[in-house]
Amino acid sequence: MTKTDESFIETLLYAANRYLARRPRSRHEIKEYLGRRLYKKIIPDDKKTYLIDKVVKELEDQELINDESFATWWIEDRSYFKPRGKRALIFELRAKGVAKEVIEAVLDKLDLSEVELAKAILNKKRLVFERLDKNLRQEQIRKLLSRRGFTYEAIKKAIEEIDIME
């Protein structure tokens, strides 16, 4: 490893740490970010890949990036601030580059209740839905929950369990 490589690695580590300071990131997000940082540098592509892999390895060794802990954080954060169904969570995490097996393992470990999340959304939107007539209300509720990634069964159960439909 040359002096220039060490300089690049040090600069990339600093940039990655600043990027990670805002919120946790997936391995894929870090690699993309570092790739953007090196985009305009006049270095061969294989050298860029080498530098990025070296920085990612260092971050993993320091336990600053871990896809499983990132997925857990993402799902918990989403469940609290912007509830989503399992389908939407899987889609979002896949877009962040998290492996499907990791996502499924985290979802199984957290054991999210889609019905409870759907009911929480409906409770927040209660005043909006109560103003609508019954048929339009049911249609709007189904559209809202399906846009947020809930399954038909979860939507049906949430509507049955909450007294917004009377």
Distance CA 154, CA 157 (A): 5
The one-letter amino acid at 114: E
Predicted confidence (pLDDT) per residue in 56-91, tens digit: 999 999 999 999 999 999 999 998 898 999 999 999
Residue tagged 């989403």 (tokens):
78
Same domain? 106 vs 126: no
Same domain? 125 vs 76: no
47 versus 67: which is more confidently predicted? 67
162 versus 146: which is more confidently predicted? 146
Range of the domain at 88: 67-110
Asked if 154 contacts 87 with a C-beta cutoff of 8 angstroms, the reply is: no
Same domain? 13 vs 28: yes
- The domain boundary, picked from 21, 44, 61, lies at 61
Into how many domains does the chain fold? Answer: 3
Strands (DSSP E) found in the chain: none
In angstroms and rounded to an integer, the radius of gyration of the C-alpha atoms of the chain is: 21
Token reading at 93:
């995490």
Same domain? 75 vs 93: yes
Same domain? 33 vs 74: no
Predicted confidence (pLDDT) per residue in 81-128, tens digit: 989 999 999 999 999 999 999 999 999 998 888 999 999 898 888 888
- The domain boundary, picked from 94, 110, 126, lies at 110
C-alpha dist (Å) from residue 35 to 32, 52, 65: 5, 7, 16
Q: What is the value of pTM for the model shown?
A: 0.85
